[in-house]
Amino acid sequence: MAMELSAQPRTQLGRAVKGLRKDGMVPAELYGHGIKNEHVAVSMKDLRKVLRHAGETSIVDLNVGGKKHPVFIHDVMYNPITDVIVAVDFYRVRMDEKMRIKVPLSFIGEPAGVKEKGGVLVRSLSELEVEGLPADIPHTIEVDLKALIDVGTSLHVSDLQVPSGVRVLVKPEFVVATITARMTEEQEQALAAKGADVSEIKTEGEEKKEQAATTEVSADGTPAAAVKPAAGKPGSEAPAKK
């Protein structure tokens, strides 16, 4: 059952949305195939709750004035300094129409190739593009790293389990994760001599680097980091914030 999020129509545009944010609201846009764009606002608290549980790849029922719209949270923009959500887009979908979307990968398990063989885990993908009906799109796709038992072993797209009715749009032979041999001191020195930053090589036990976000400025002058859209119909573009 889809989570529900209440929204209210808004007339505040441009710099006037500052008042909304002070009241704990987030300016938003509702758009999609066959519907007129609507300016709406949602509670910051409620939006964060929905994001925690539904993410950006699960259907959410957006209730605007009593009318429910099945939507994906298409684009979330944060203030890069305070991490406050400054704007969000909702993309209305047709439940009977297939769509393409990038689903995040969830890496689980501990690879023996790292724990027992001293290798280094290298992840080549963080998300997988798929096509299917909105109700069939998974929240995440699991990658079981326990299958990586030795240095040189790899997991490919063809090894991943996706729900029936969902078509993967990435070549099956594409490597998702692999175990490589740890560099020797001589190899590290050779790379350092060439100007390479060996500190960028992460082992399984190290903290995962945060993905870089694209910084942009909203209409009211507030800097925001745009998170990559989670969903969208081919050929559709998110409307510019006003």
For position 218, what pLDDT does the model report? Answer: 42
For position 196, what pLDDT does the model report? Answer: 53
Mean pLDDT by 10 residues, the chain (242 residues): 86 79 89 87 93 85 91 89 90 91 93 88 94 91 93 94 94 95 73 60 42 40 40 42 44
Domains and CATH numbers, the chain: 3-97+212-226 (2.40.240.10), 100-200 (2.170.120.20)
Q: Please state the pTM of the whole predicted model.
A: 0.66
For position 220, what pLDDT does the model report? Answer: 44
* Phi, psi of 222, deg, nearest 5: -85, 125
Residue with tokens 């079981």: 144
Angle at 212 between CA 208 and CA 214, to 5 degrees: 160
For position 188, what pLDDT does the model report? Answer: 66
Radius of gyration of the chain (CA): 21
User: Which pair of structure tokens corresponds to residue 39?
Assistant: 């300016």
| CA-to-CA separations, 217 to 78, 104, 162, 202, 220, in angstroms, rounded | 10, 26, 37, 32, 8
For position 224, what pLDDT does the model report? Answer: 41
User: Which pair of structure tokens corresponds to residue 47?
Assistant: 């939006």
Q: Give, as one character, the DSSP assignment of residue 205.
A: T
